Chains A and B, each alone.
Chain A
Amino acid sequence: MTFELKTIELSGGRLSYHIGGTGTPVVYLHAAGGVMLTEPLKALTGNHTVYAPICPGFDGTEGNDSLKTVQDWVAMVAEFAEKLVGPRFDVIGSSFGSWSALWLAAEHPKMVDHLILGVPAGFRFGGRGGLPADPEERFKALYAHPQKIKSTPKSPEVMAGNGKTYERLANNIQVDEALSERLPSIEAVTLILLGTEDKVVPAEAGAHLKRNIPTSQRAFIFDAAHSIEVDQPERTLRLWTDFLKRGPGYVLNQGPEAA
């Protein structure tokens, strides 16, 4: 299944988004590197309509100076969802996208059904984790298996735009204390995914979320660095689809009859 790139005019400005597939809606919120149409994301379109909005300023889109915080971006996503997706949908985030997804679930609890937080950013306790500045080290931190990258590399200009926009929205926040206080109020059933080789998001970030989000589970994806969708696409997809289909009940092994 392929994605189409479209745009929509919202009250706060223009928003580009990828859309693909048919089925129950899933909103995918991208990482600081912009949207990567990874193998699990493509596969997800087999059973879902996947919406992947692009935060203005990312992936070569026109910037929007009125977006100054993650919450500003999330307000735009909520309006997008209200106009295009429907009243209730599932959300998958990746890193910065998981940070955004958490704010979406906190601010709009009735909208978010299943919430999947891939390698969630925004909780760097003690300043641990984060992306190295050195490009080579950064690449190593992102990928345990770079040979699995299938998408075309983004241009330096696009990457620079992504970085600049991310820095503005993240505002050098190490731990989003305001969001942390909201975690116990999150109603969405939540799955937190972490890579066993991920040095960008330490395991303690996942533990903090697990401890504070009432109906949550977390799973380590073995032999994956920060880019779990690239490093272990089959494992990531299996967890996504099981959780979206069965919610917290995905922990039960249903045996061969389940198929």
Chain B
Amino acid sequence: MKFNFFHLMPYPDYDKLPHEWPVSTHGIDSTRIQALYNEYIDEMVDAENYGFDWVGCNEHHFSPYGLMSNPNLIAGALARQTSKAKIAIVGNLLPLLNPIRVAEEYAMIDVMSGGRLIAGFLRGIPHEYIAYNIPPSESRSRLREATELIIKCWTEDEPFGWEGEHYQFPAVSIWPKPIQKPHPRILMSASNAESAEFVAKMRAIMGITLIQDLSIAKAAVENFKKTARSYGWEPTPDDILVGQQICIADTDEEARHHMAAAQTYFHQTLMRPQRSAQQLVLGQSRYYTDADAGENFQKRLATLRGRTVEEQIEAGSIICGSPQSVIKQIKRLRQELDCGLLNLTIKVGNMPGSVVRRGMELFRDRIAPEVAGL
């Protein structure tokens, strides 16, 4: 198995309960955020020496939920300071962005890192569409067109133009091209049949997160495999990534205590302001089609929010415990979901840096040796 040290880069000191999104920055000290960037990047740089195969981050806007409006900037720093871990951007929110710019920045990261980019092409979560003033109902069609355009940018040596539904670029030839040929691995979300179809067509890594029930996740994986076969290929565990929050401590009790506290901040402070904005998007646009109405991000999140740490562990939603318990939980995920890639968020909410670091040590010394060969 391979493990991604994923960082959401949350702001951990928000002492009020934010009531609206976008969230005000009144009273926020940017020099504190400078310190956080340093702390978080140091954790990510160190991760490659703690048994993690990938280091990764993603994109969010206008709130303390995540401090990476452009994860490619973080990846630029990681490209120079790491030497062996894959750099997984999971990912750029393609429908919101200029796809040519994404192609260029991703190619730069791949070249700067010596061919270590994992390129996440994500649709994002609903409220992000307000941030960049993009119609949510266009999210899927923009994602599909941008994905195909970016691949052309990476693989066509001769200049070309693009005449599409959302994008028209008459003259394109990005410099440099990625080192990885024909192009870096692509990672996309495939939690329902509609998204699985496109992910399978693009032969991308399928990502699934916020698992509320292992049987539902297993069905999604099986559906992806079946769809991939219809496109003439057979996914292996290296094509299936499962995202989980994780807390590793010396004892189960300690880990559960830290996870519970961190999740309280995560749900009550970091996630709170987005809910009303998300409801606005969901109520007034066709962000979700009928296909994904029963299995969407908000529903999964709401389900998890109402569960105890113990219930989440039992459901396969999170990984939490002593090294021995964590090894068992990882083996269970590997067996149930046939996944070869785990995307692990160790910095959950306001989890103290000392807890994150101890978890990394335990992962390196006690867990990685037991699970890397799975």
- A→B interface (CB under 8 Å): 196, 203, 206-207, 210-211, 217-223, 232, 235, 238-239, 250-251, 253
User: Which residue in chain B gives the minimum CB-CB distance to A193?
Assistant: B163
Q: Nearest 9 pairs between A and B by C-beta?
A: A219-B161, A222-B164, A251-B170, A210-B158, A207-B158, A251-B171, A235-B163, A221-B163, A218-B160
Tell me, in angstroms, the Cα distance from A253 to B168 when the chains sit together.
Answer: 10
User: Which of B9-17, B31-39, B144-152, B256-264 lies at the interface with chain A?
Assistant: B144-152
B250 contacts the other chain (CB 8 A): no
User: Which residue in chain A gives the minimum CB-CB distance to B166?
Assistant: A222
Chain A hits for B163, CB < 8 A: 219-222, 232, 235, 238-239
Interface size class of B (residues with CB under 8 A): 10 to 19
Tell me, in angstroms, the Cα distance from A48 to B337 when the chains sit together.
Answer: 61
Q: A203-B156, A222-B165, A235-B164 are in contact. Are A217 and B149 (CB under 8 A)?
A: no
Whether B158 lies near A251 (C-beta < 8 A) is no
Chain B hits for A211, CB < 8 A: 158
Interface core residue of B145, B149, B163 (most chain A CB under 10 Å): B163
Besides A217-B161, A222-B145, 14 other A-B contacts (C-beta < 8 A): A207-B156, A207-B158, A210-B160, A218-B159, A219-B170, A220-B161, A222-B149, A222-B163, A222-B164, A222-B165, A222-B167, A223-B165, A232-B163, A251-B170
User: Which residue in chain A gives the minimum CB-CB distance to B152?
Assistant: A220
Whether A217 lies near B159 (C-beta < 8 A) is yes
Interface flags, B22-57, vs A, CB<8A=1, else 0: 000000000000000000000000000000000000
Min CB distance, B230 to chain A, in Å?
Answer: 14
Q: A217-B171, A250-B170 are in contact. Are A222 and B156 (CB under 8 A)?
A: no
Min CB distance, B181 to chain A, in Å?
Answer: 15
Chain A hits for B159, CB < 8 A: 210, 217-218
**Contacting residue for B158 out of A218, A223, A232, A235, CB 8 A:** A218
| Interface residue ranges of B143-200 to A (CB < 8 Å) | 145, 148-149, 152, 156-165, 167, 170-171
Tell me, in angstroms, the Cα distance from A196 to B148 when the chains sit together.
Answer: 8
Chain A hits for B165, CB < 8 A: 222-223
Whether A219 lies near B160 (C-beta < 8 A) is yes
User: Which residue in chain B gives the minimum CB-CB distance to A203?
Assistant: B156
Tell me, in angstroms, the Cα distance from A221 to B171 when the chains sit together.
Answer: 13
Tell me, in angstroms, the Cα distance from A206 to B152 when the chains sit together.
Answer: 13
Chain B hits for A253, CB < 8 A: 170
User: Which residue in chain B gives the minimum CB-CB distance to A207?
Assistant: B158
**Contacting residue for B162 out of A203, A210, A220, A238, CB 8 A:** A220
Tell me, in angstroms, the Cα distance from A210 to B157 when the chains sit together.
Answer: 10
Chain A hits for B157, CB < 8 A: 207
Min CB distance, B152 to chain A, in Å?
Answer: 6
Whether B164 lies near A218 (C-beta < 8 A) is no
Min CB distance, B74 to chain A, in Å?
Answer: 31
User: Which residue in chain B gives the minimum CB-CB distance to A236?
Assistant: B163
Q: A203-B156, A250-B170, A251-B171 are in contact. Are A218 and B148 (CB under 8 A)?
A: no
